[in-house]
Amino acid sequence: MEKIIGITNARNNIKEIVDIISDKDEIYIVTRDSNPEVVIMSYKKYLENKKLINQIWKLKYEKSVKKSQLQFKKWLKEKGYDVNKLSEEEI
Protein backbone atom coordinates (compact mmCIF):
# COMPACT_ATOMS: atom_id res chain seq x y z
CA MET A 1 0.00 0.00 0.00
CA GLU A 2 1.30 3.44 -0.83
CA LYS A 3 1.88 6.03 1.83
CA ILE A 4 1.07 9.65 1.11
CA ILE A 5 3.36 12.29 2.56
CA GLY A 6 3.68 16.05 2.13
CA ILE A 7 6.82 17.46 0.56
CA THR A 8 7.88 19.30 3.72
CA ASN A 9 7.51 16.16 5.81
CA ALA A 10 9.39 14.17 3.15
CA ARG A 11 12.21 16.70 3.07
CA ASN A 12 12.54 16.68 6.87
CA ASN A 13 12.49 12.87 7.10
CA ILE A 14 14.17 11.75 3.88
CA LYS A 15 16.67 9.42 5.57
CA GLU A 16 13.96 7.60 7.50
CA ILE A 17 11.76 7.39 4.40
CA VAL A 18 14.59 5.93 2.31
CA ASP A 19 15.34 3.41 5.07
CA ILE A 20 11.67 2.32 5.20
CA ILE A 21 11.46 2.07 1.42
CA SER A 22 14.67 0.03 1.27
CA ASP A 23 13.78 -2.28 4.16
CA LYS A 24 10.05 -2.80 3.62
CA ASP A 25 9.74 -2.14 -0.12
CA GLU A 26 7.12 0.54 0.57
CA ILE A 27 6.04 3.19 -1.92
CA TYR A 28 5.61 6.84 -1.00
CA ILE A 29 3.59 9.40 -2.91
CA VAL A 30 4.87 12.90 -2.23
CA THR A 31 2.35 15.73 -2.45
CA ARG A 32 2.78 19.45 -2.92
CA ASP A 33 -0.19 21.64 -2.05
CA SER A 34 -2.20 18.42 -1.58
CA ASN A 35 -1.51 17.33 -5.17
CA PRO A 36 0.50 14.18 -5.95
CA GLU A 37 3.83 15.20 -7.50
CA VAL A 38 6.25 12.27 -7.33
CA VAL A 39 6.53 8.65 -6.28
CA ILE A 40 9.44 7.29 -4.27
CA MET A 41 10.06 3.56 -4.51
CA SER A 42 12.94 1.15 -4.17
CA TYR A 43 15.25 0.70 -7.12
CA LYS A 44 14.27 -2.98 -7.18
CA LYS A 45 10.58 -2.07 -7.48
CA TYR A 46 11.44 0.51 -10.17
CA LEU A 47 13.25 -2.14 -12.24
CA GLU A 48 10.33 -4.56 -11.82
CA ASN A 49 7.88 -1.90 -13.00
CA LYS A 50 10.12 -0.95 -15.91
CA LYS A 51 10.33 -4.60 -16.98
CA LEU A 52 6.53 -4.97 -16.81
CA ILE A 53 6.01 -1.80 -18.83
CA ASN A 54 8.44 -3.04 -21.49
CA GLN A 55 6.61 -6.37 -21.65
CA ILE A 56 3.27 -4.58 -22.06
CA TRP A 57 4.67 -2.42 -24.89
CA LYS A 58 6.09 -5.51 -26.58
CA LEU A 59 2.71 -7.27 -26.40
CA LYS A 60 0.93 -4.18 -27.76
CA TYR A 61 3.46 -3.95 -30.59
CA GLU A 62 3.10 -7.63 -31.48
CA LYS A 63 -0.69 -7.33 -31.41
CA SER A 64 -0.53 -4.26 -33.66
CA VAL A 65 1.77 -6.01 -36.14
CA LYS A 66 -0.50 -9.07 -36.23
CA LYS A 67 -3.55 -6.86 -36.81
CA SER A 68 -1.76 -4.99 -39.61
CA GLN A 69 -0.75 -8.24 -41.28
CA LEU A 70 -4.32 -9.54 -41.18
CA GLN A 71 -5.68 -6.27 -42.59
CA PHE A 72 -3.07 -6.31 -45.35
CA LYS A 73 -3.90 -9.91 -46.27
CA LYS A 74 -7.59 -8.99 -46.37
CA TRP A 75 -6.83 -6.01 -48.62
CA LEU A 76 -4.76 -8.17 -50.96
CA LYS A 77 -7.57 -10.72 -51.16
CA GLU A 78 -10.10 -7.94 -51.94
CA LYS A 79 -7.81 -6.79 -54.77
CA GLY A 80 -7.78 -10.30 -56.21
CA TYR A 81 -4.32 -11.44 -55.12
CA ASP A 82 -3.68 -14.90 -53.72
CA VAL A 83 -1.61 -14.24 -50.61
CA ASN A 84 -0.18 -17.76 -50.62
CA LYS A 85 1.24 -17.35 -54.15
CA LEU A 86 2.88 -13.94 -53.68
CA SER A 87 6.57 -13.64 -52.87
CA GLU A 88 7.95 -11.09 -50.43
CA GLU A 89 9.18 -8.99 -53.37
CA GLU A 90 5.74 -8.98 -55.00
CA ILE A 91 4.07 -7.92 -51.77
Determine the pLDDT at residue 63. Answer: 96
The CATH number of the domain holding residue 15 is: 3.40.1620.10
pTM (predicted TM-score): 0.67
Length of the chain, in residues: 91
What is the tens place of the pLDDT at every residue in 61-89? Answer: 999 999 999 999 899 889 888 888 888 77
Determine the pLDDT at residue 81. Answer: 87
Integer distance in angstroms from the first to the last C-alpha of the chain?
A: 53
Asked if pLDDT for residue 1 goes beyond 90, the answer is no
Residue at 27 is within a domain: yes
Query: What does the pLDDT average to over 18-47?
Result: 97
Asked if pLDDT for residue 50 goes beyond 80, the answer is yes
Same domain, 52 and 36: no
Instruction: Examine the fold and report which residue of 41, 56, 71 is the final residue of a domain before the chain moves on.
Output: 41
Same domain, 19 and 49: no
Same domain, 35 and 49: no
Residues 6+ apart with CB under 8 A from 86: 76
Residue at 67 is within a domain: yes
Question: 10: domain range?
Answer: 2-41
Nearest 5°: CA angle at 59, between 56 and 62? 150
